[in-house]
Structure formats: structure tokens, C-alpha cells
Amino acid sequence: DQCKEAISFMNHCAEKDLIFEKMKATFKHRQLLIHDAAKSNTVLSVFPRFLDTKGLILQGFDVQFETETAPRLLEQWDSLKPKIIAEARTLTSTLHLTNLLSDAQGNSQDEGSDWQGWDSDMSSILLLAYLLPPPPGGRNKSTKISIREAMDHLCIFFQACRSLTEHMNKSEGLQPHLLAVGSAKNIIHDFYIVLDGKHLPCQAKSSLAAFDELFKAYFVFSVSYPHCLSAMY
């Protein structure tokens, strides 16, 4: 009964601090839902504040694991990123890989180029898909997916002037993944995590922090990595 009261209270509450407090208090109940195969798809309807309150995924990860674990990727990125770029430079060159490497190194594209690249951090993250490419297609060995297709399972760019509903109608099978909303791939205004046909706003404002939040969402909602990115994750 106390849990039901807490859920009802925060679903009608406008104060962010109280929402976070009640979400923390209902963590165990949420875990029961998430790990119940018959009820796991109800998590976002029972806890709809995930859909309008930034930071709940990060708090959920902190509660589930030690707080010291949470910032590891962000803390180690400055030393990890140059290694990714260096390894990627040894790969057989393709036009897409060359452009991605250029963006990862912070180089500007030539005027008139059709290439629209991500910022340096997201480009470096996507290089991991080249270094750790998609494995064979699971049970259906005839299923093949390209590296560029695998990248869509990680992050998709969406023009800020369009309706998010338009993307939701096309996102089946790509979950969870990042939706980067902005005027260009390297000018992103907001990030969302797409899950079960809904978009959860990220607290992150940078591509690296958004990827970190996406990674944590897999644990918070206990969902499996996409098969095509299993080696990368």
C-alpha cells in the first residue's frame, strides 16, 4: 500500500526533488516489475515520470550499483579516446571510415562535401563499431548487418524541426537507442533514449554523457544489448 501511495503521489507531483525521492523509495518494486516477464512491458506506464523527468535513469543506476561505478567511462574517456582513434587508423580505409576518423580527430570537412558528421566524441564512439564489428546474425546465420546499419542501433540523428512521433513510428526493432535531436549532427540540442516506442529525455547535454546514459539504461531496465553491438558493449 505504501508503494502504491508513493507511485500515485509522484505521478501527480511537480517537484523534482520529491519525484527523485519517491523513485528511489520504489526501486525494489520497480525491479520486481522489470524482472517479471509478464509485467516488464508495464514499467513505463507504472512509472511515467521516466518520460518527463531527466536524471532518473542515472539515479536508478546509482541505486542499483555503487555510486563510484557510475562515472568510470566519463573519467577514463580522455585516455581511451586517443587509443580508439589510433586503432581505427590501422583499419582498411573506406570513405565512411575516413570521414568518421576525420570527425573524431576534430578536423573540419571540405566545403561542398556531402558528409555531415558527428562531433568528435560521438564519432570516436562510432569508431568502436569498426574496431568491434557486428558478429554473425544470431540464430539466423543468413542475417547480415553492416557496420553502418549497426550504428543505427546506437544513435540516430533527428532534425529538430520534425515531430518525435515521426521517429517513433519508424523505430521498431531499434531499442534502446539514442535519438539525437538538433539542427545538425554536430549541433545537438537534446538527447533521448528510445525504449518501447517511447522517448525518455536524457539529462546529458554532450554526446559522450548521452552514450553513458544509454549504457546505464540497459541495466536500469534490464534489457539485452543489440546483437549487432554485443562485441562493442
The amino acid occupying position 106 is: G
**In 183-202, which positions are buried (b, 16+ CB within 10 angstroms) versus exposed (e)?**
eebbebebbbbbbbebbbbb
**pLDDT category of residue 230 using cuts at 50, 70 and 90:** confident
Give pTM, 2 decimals: 0.89
β pairing state of 155-159 and 177-184: parallel
Q: Which own/partner contact pairs does 89-96 have at CB distance under 8 Å and 24+ positions apart? A: 91/130, 91/131, 96/148
**Sign of the torsion angle spanned by Cα atoms 221, 207, 52, 153:** negative
Each residue's pLDDT tens digit, 96-109? 999 999 999 987 65
Ranges assigned E (strand) in the chain: 155-159, 177-184, 187-195, 198-201
The pLDDT of residue 31: 93
Nearest by Cα to 176 from 121, 221, 233, 133: 221
Those residues with Cβ within 8 angstroms of residue 47's Cβ, 6 or more apart along the chain or in another chain: 7, 23, 26, 30
For residues 207 and 180, the answer to whether their CB atoms sit within 8 Å is yes
Each residue's pLDDT tens digit, 139-165? 555 456 788 888 988 999 998 877 777
